[in-house]
Amino acid sequence: MTARPVFEEDGTTHVPAFDLPASAFSSPQAQAAQAYRAKMAGAAPVTAGRDIAEVRAGLEVMLAPQVAGVLAAFPVDVVDETIAGVPVKIFTPKDKPFDQERVLINLHGGAFTMGWPSCAMLESPPVAVLGGYKVVSVNYRMAPEHKHPAGAEDVAAVYAELLKTYDASRIVIYGGSAGGALTGQMGAWLPAHGLPQAAALGIFGAGAVRFNSGDSAYIAGYIDGSFAPPPPPGEKPVDITNGYFSGHDMKDTSISPALHPEVMAKYPPTLIITGTRAMDMSPAIVTNSALLKAGVRSTLIVGEAMGHCYYYNFQLPESQDAYQAMIGFFRENLA
């Protein structure tokens, strides 16, 4: 007889061990990718306490083949510049015309501590080429050298400078993982600091609420393994952001705006992308619900059997669908 879960009165559920087969609804390519997962060591390594230069360099080496694949599939011109004192990379389609009147701001992933420029190189070229857009990826300040709200301040500075050339209705902000969370925070930050709201937001692999919370943090921790599940009660959780939010209330409007209805009411149309096996699914769902309750247009895409920022693997049909959804949503909401 199959073991069944045991429920405690305090809401705790004791889940029996089980085998999770590949989803019948996932693509053959996604199922084949499990062969690579079988060779992986498990959850992402803990970076707290390690030399940050070593951690960052290691990620760049690990993602180099993936970046090379993206650049081969989506040829772009990349220019390094500084906008409002903040380093950026500007991506435009190579040898192809692109929209001169609109601009997209990309906020790269990397747990608020790494990911530059590798994650920017994964997130920006597909959108630039498929949409025919200029994408400005921001090298915002990160931990452990800096703390919140350093990243938000940098993004706001770049945004304010771009407003001198582009109307706010022609600017979209999007990002993945930490960059997705930062994008969610910008929806609250801009109006709170006297800046006009962007035309739309793209929150991918994240939500406008703190990470490592909700059902998905546990579920993904045991069935996906990219991130370890939260520790048992009484044990201190590992801070994957290397202290980026230390000293701040994680329920604050600038960190978890989805917990504040009056803040969410000021958001622009928002596209949210997560996966059924992603640790960010709960934050994504909570954010989508908060936006809908606030009367703001929100579109939530949940990739079946997909993990954290699955669209980084651009070859998957699920990822290609996600990119088409991004382009369609941005195009529909840009003036």
Show contacts of 323-329: CB within 8 Å, 24+ apart.
Answer: 323/126, 323/127, 323/130, 324/130, 325/271, 325/273, 325/299, 325/301, 326/127, 326/131, 326/174, 326/202, 326/204, 326/271, 326/273, 327/127, 327/130, 327/131, 329/200, 329/202, 329/269, 329/271, 329/299
Q: Which of 214, 121, 109 is nearest to 151 (CA)?
A: 109
CATH (domain of 121): 3.40.50.1820
Please report the pLDDT score of residue 237 as a whole number.
Answer: 84
Q: What is the pTM of this model?
A: 0.96
For residue 121, give the amino acid letter.
M
How many domains does the chain divide into? Answer: 1
The answer to the question of residue 277 being in a domain is yes
Measure the CA–CA gap between 318 and 326, rounded to whole angstroms: 12
pLDDT for res 233: 81
Mean pLDDT, the chain, as a whole number?
94
Measured on CA atoms in the order 112, 136, 277, 315, is the torsion positive or negative? negative
Q: 30 lies in a domain?
A: no
- pLDDT score at 189: 98
Whether 239 shows a pLDDT value over 70: the answer reads yes
- Percent share of the chain, pLDDT over 90: 87
For 58, left (φ over 0), alpha (ψ -120 to 50), or beta? alpha
- 179: pLDDT strictly greater than 80: yes
Per-residue pLDDT tens digits for 22-75: 999 999 999 988 877 776 555 455 555 678 999 999 999 999 999 999 999 999
The one-letter amino acid code at 25 reads F
Which pLDDT score, from 0 to 100, does residue 34 have? 80
Return the amino acid letter for 320: Q
| Domain assignment present for 69 | yes
Query: CA angle at residue 62 from 56 to 63, to 5 degrees?
Result: 90
CA 5 to chain centre: 32
Nearest C-alpha neighbor of 147 from the set 247, 55, 57, 238: 247
Does 262 map to a domain? yes
Who has greater pLDDT, 292 or 48?
292
Domain assignment of residue 129, yes or no: yes
Q: What is the pLDDT of residues 136-170, one digit of tens each?
A: 999 999 999 999 999 999 999 999 999 999 999 99
Q: Could you tell me if residue 10 is inside a domain? A: no
Phi, psi values for residue 172, rounded to 5°: -115, 140
Give the Cα-Cα-Cα angle 124, 243, 251 (nearest 5 degrees).
Answer: 85
In a domain, 11, yes or no: no
238 located within any domain: yes
Its sign, for the CA torsion 132, 325, 198, 156, is negative
Quote the CA–CA distance of 240 and 33 in Å, as a whole number. Answer: 26
- The pLDDT-based confidence of 273 (bands split at 50, 70, 90) is very high
- At 150, which helix (H) or strand (E)? helix 150-162
Structure-token pair, residue 200: 């739309």
Percent of the chain with pLDDT over 70: 96
Compute and round to an integer the Cα radius of gyration of the chain: 19
Taking the C-alpha atoms of residue 205 and residue 307, their distance in angstroms, rounded to an integer, is 9
Query: Domain range for residue 185?
Result: 40-333
Per-residue pLDDT band at 234 (split at 50, 70, 90): confident
